[in-house]
């Protein structure tokens, strides 16, 4: 019962001003943990989908879902089953690399992780990678030795497998 678990909550919300504030404010006010939140348009017109990553025990999760459902602008809330959910994140990594050798190593690593080089400057390379947060962490760890100048991550977004809701 008291076991802390990371949950992926998917919420379909009305796509209008203030919705993010309502959701974020709810988490702050009720003391719910929020590790990540992504928002974007959804398959339905005028609706956006939020993916919220939160840590808590079953009781806290139940409250999060119920309190989210109380918000008038929130239309549907699901706690995604980790076994049946695909979770992906986009990450851009800018690396300091001037020498030929360093650059080719970075490119090789990026390729292994199915990343792409999306920008090359006189002193930098920028890698784009999508995948599970674990895979992204692994690549970042490898690239650290070259000198990472900047990282921009979207945080994970998620969707259920197959015909599941």
Partner 1 sequence: MKGSEAIIKSLKDQGVDIVFGYPGGVLLPLYDALYDSDLEHILVRHEQCAAHAADGYARASGKVGVCIGTSGPGATNLVTGIATAHMDSSPILAIAGQVGTALIGRDAFQEVDTLGLTMPITKHNFQAMQADEIAGMIKSAFYIASTGRQGPVAIDLPKDVQEQEFEYKADFQIDLPGYKPTRKGHPGQIKKASNLILKSKKPVILAGGGVILSESSDELLELSKLIKAPVTTTLMGKGSFPEDDPLSLGMLGMHGRKVANLVVDECDCLIVIGCRFSDRTTGKVDEFASNAKIIHIDVDPAEIGKNVDIDIPIVGDAKIVLTSLIKTIGKLKEGNPGSTKEWADYISDFKINCIPRLSFEDVPLKPQQVIKEIRDSIDYDAIVTTDVGQNQMWMAHYFTSKIPRTFLSSGGLGTMGFGFPAAMGAKVALPENDVVAVCGDGGFLMVCQDLATVREYDIPVVVCVLNNRYLGMVAQWQKLFYDERMSHTHLGEVPDFVKLAEAFGVRGERVEKPGEMKETLQSALKSGEPTLIDVIIDPDEILPMVPPGCGITEIIGEYKVEREVPGEIPYRAPHKEKEGE
Residues near partner 1 (CB under 8 A)? 13-14, 18, 21-22, 25-26, 29, 59, 62-63, 66-67, 69-76
In angstroms, what is the minimal distance from the CB of 105 to partner 1? 48
Helices (H), the chain: 19-30, 58-70, 100-112, 133-143
Of 30 and 114, which has the nearer Cβ to partner 1? 30
Question: Nearest approach, Cβ of 15 to partner 1 (angstroms)?
Answer: 12
* Smaller CB separation from partner 1, 71 or 159: 71
Cα separation, 2 vs 67, in Å, equals 20
Residue 22: partners with Cβ closer than 8 Å, 6 or more residues away: 71, 73, 74
Contact 161, 93 (CB under 8 A): no
Q: Which is nearer to partner 1, 73 or 128 (CB)?
A: 73
> Token digits for 82?
């980790």
Taking the CA of residue 62 as centre, how many other CA atoms within 13 Å lie in the half-sphere pointing to its CB? 5
Which residue, 70 or 101, is less far from partner 1 as judged by CB?
70
Report the nearest approach of partner 1 to the CB of residue 149 (Å): 34
Closest CB 78 distance from partner 1, rounded Å: 14
């Amino acid at each position: 019962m008291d076991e802390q678990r990371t949950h992926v909550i998917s919420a379909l919300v009305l796509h209008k001003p203030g919705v993010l504030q309502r959701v974020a404010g709810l988490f702050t006010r009720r003391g719910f943990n929020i590790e990540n939140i992504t928002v974007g348009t959804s398959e339905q017109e005028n609706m956006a989908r939020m993916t919220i990553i939160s840590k808590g025990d079953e009781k806290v999760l139940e409250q999060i879902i119920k309190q989210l459902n109380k918000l008038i602008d929130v239309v549907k809330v699901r706690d995604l089953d980790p076994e049946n959910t695909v979770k992906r994140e986009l990450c851009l990594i800018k690396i300091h690399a001037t020498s030929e050798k360093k650059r080719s190593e970075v490119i090789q690593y990026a390729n292994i992780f199915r990343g792409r080089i999306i920008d090359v400057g006189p002193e930098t390379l920028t890698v784009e990678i999508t995948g599970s947060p674990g895979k992204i962490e692994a690549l970042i760890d490898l690239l650290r030795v070259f000198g990472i100048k900047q990282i921009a991550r979207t945080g994970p977004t998620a969707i259920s497998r197959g015909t599941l809701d």
